[in-house]
Homo-oligomer: A and B are copies of this chain.
Amino acid sequence: MSSKVTVVEQILNANDSLAVQNKDKLEANNVLGINVMASPGSGKTSVILRTIEALKDSLQLGVVEGDTAAVTIDADKVISAGMPAVQINTGGQCHLDAVMLGNALPQMPLAEIDLMIVENVGNLICPASFALGTHFNVVIASIPEGDDKPYKYPNIYRGIDALILNKMDLLPYIDFDVDYFRRGIEILNPNARFFLMSCKTGEGVKEWADWLRQRVAIFKNR
């Protein structure tokens, strides 16, 4: 094994050990954490706002917003929706890591929330390599991105717990083979839940919210 590979492994191990600390902190506060990854513009923030709307009467949410620049566009929307938001400005970095999340956690009122959603930086590659300490990984894809993405960017789709295929309202206007896309996901991860969604029409939001509510219930009864 070359020294170069060893260095990479050490970096990942340091991140992984900090991710364990983050998970411990979430569990000590009885908070389920999910890591939402996606391409830029897939509708991560819209899905989160729909999720808040669907769950706000039954669960208290908190949102961590990962951004590469110091713009609070997404965090402002979450706060307007009535939930606490903490923004991480990565300073140009292409992903969140366990250090960044660890530094953000003290700003999040963990004792008051049930479910913490982390919106990772919009990127289909790098976030896959950095565990954060959350309990579930979710990828949001969208119809305009094309049905070949699981075949072209397999790493991010591997090991996920749920896949949301968003912007279903655009399907009539775009050549997108949902079965071909879904097979690409299933080859990589036969057990991932698959949600068809449109944040515009509300299609699929209830199914996704029900799944989250169930995950939180199972977690709290652990």
Residues of B close to A170: CB separation below 8 A: 144, 170, 173-174
A167 CA to B40 CA, complexed, in Å: 15
- Asked if residues A123 and B149 are in contact (CB atoms below 8 Å), the reply is no
Known contacts A39-B40, A40-B124, A126-B126; is A69 also within 8 Å of B144 by CB? no
**In the docked arrangement, what's the CA distance between A73 and B155, Å?**
17
Q: Which of B121, B145, B169, B173 contacts A125 (CB 8 A)?
A: B121
Nearest opposing residue in chain B for A144, CB measure: B144
- By a CB distance below 8 angstroms, the chain B residues around A174 are 170
Neighbour of A69 across the interface among B126, B146, B153, CB < 8 A = B153
Q: Answer whether residue A97 sits at the interface, using C-beta atoms and an 8 A cutoff.
A: no
Which residues of chain A from 130 to 157 have a CB within 8 Å of any chain B CB? Answer: 142-146, 148-149, 151-155
Check if A68 is an interface residue, CB within 8 A of chain B: yes
Contact partners of A153 in chain B: CB under 8 A:
40, 68-69, 122
**Given contacts A123-B123, A142-B144, A144-B144, A40 and B149 within 8 Å (CB-CB):** yes
Q: Is the CB of A167 within 8 A of B151?
A: no
B69 touches A148 (CB 8 A): no
Q: Which chain B positions have C-beta within 8 A of A142?
A: 41, 144
A152 touches B71 (CB 8 A): yes
**Contact in complex: A94, B123 (CB < 8 Å):** yes
Could you tell me if A154 and B69 are in contact, using CB atoms closer than 8 angstroms? yes
Kindly supply a per-residue 1/0 record for chain A positions 75-107, scoring 1 wherever the CB is within 8 Å of any chain B CB and 0 otherwise.
000000000000000001110000000000000
Q: Find chain B residues with CB under 8 A from A151 CB.
A: 69, 71, 73
Is A67 close to B, CB under 8 A? Answer: yes
Residues of B within 8 A of A148 (CB): 73
